[in-house]
Amino acid sequence: MKRTYLVLLLILCFVAYKAQETCEFSRDTLFVPKESKVIEGECIQTTLKNLSEVKLYRTSDNKFYLKLIVTEDFYFNKVDVLEIKSGSKSYYAKETKQYKINKTRGLYVIEVFKNYLYTLKEDGITSIVFSNAETDFTRQDAGQIKRIAKCMYETAFAKK
């Protein structure tokens, strides 16, 4: 009998923990190097296991940007196709440049569309491919990206 109550209590605690998961947006600016302009909007971010960062931005005119700060596979200032894999689906950003932040971090900034935001919400990012180098993300990393994409998607496209 005590086991049943203990299991029930653990389940309730888990459900309560999941229910408290909130979306923490912040106001921020984003410099889009390809367009040489600064954009204001709101963003949500997560830090991955390998200390890479993923930020999703929504601008006031409802455009979405993905900012990736990577800590592996550097090709600073090279322009190539960036392939972002989400499970079995891929998103290709043509003529993407990897910018150098410092000697251990690189930066990509790309515009993403509503349908790809939905894909991120469902599958996260499982890997990125740039200049024939593939960087895999862990299942936990993909889960974190799914969480922030879900927050962004539901906030941006909530039924009113």
By the 8 A CB rule, do 122 and 146 touch? Answer: yes
3-class state of residue 144 by DSSP: helix
Strand partners, 41: 28, 59
CA atoms within 13 A on the CB side of 55: 19
pTM of this structure:
0.82
What's the whole-number average pLDDT of the chain? 87
CB atoms inside a 10 Å sphere around CB 140: 11
Check pLDDT > 90 for residue 141: yes
CATH 2.40.30 fits 25-156, yes or no: no
pLDDT tens-place string over residues 39-55: 999 999 999 999 999 99
> Taking phi first (over 0 means left), then psi (-120 to 50 degrees means alpha), and beta for anything else, what does residue 51 get?
left
Check pLDDT > 90 for residue 74: no
pLDDT band at 105; cut points 50, 70, 90: very high
Report the pLDDT value the prediction gives residue 46, as an integer from 0 to 100.
96
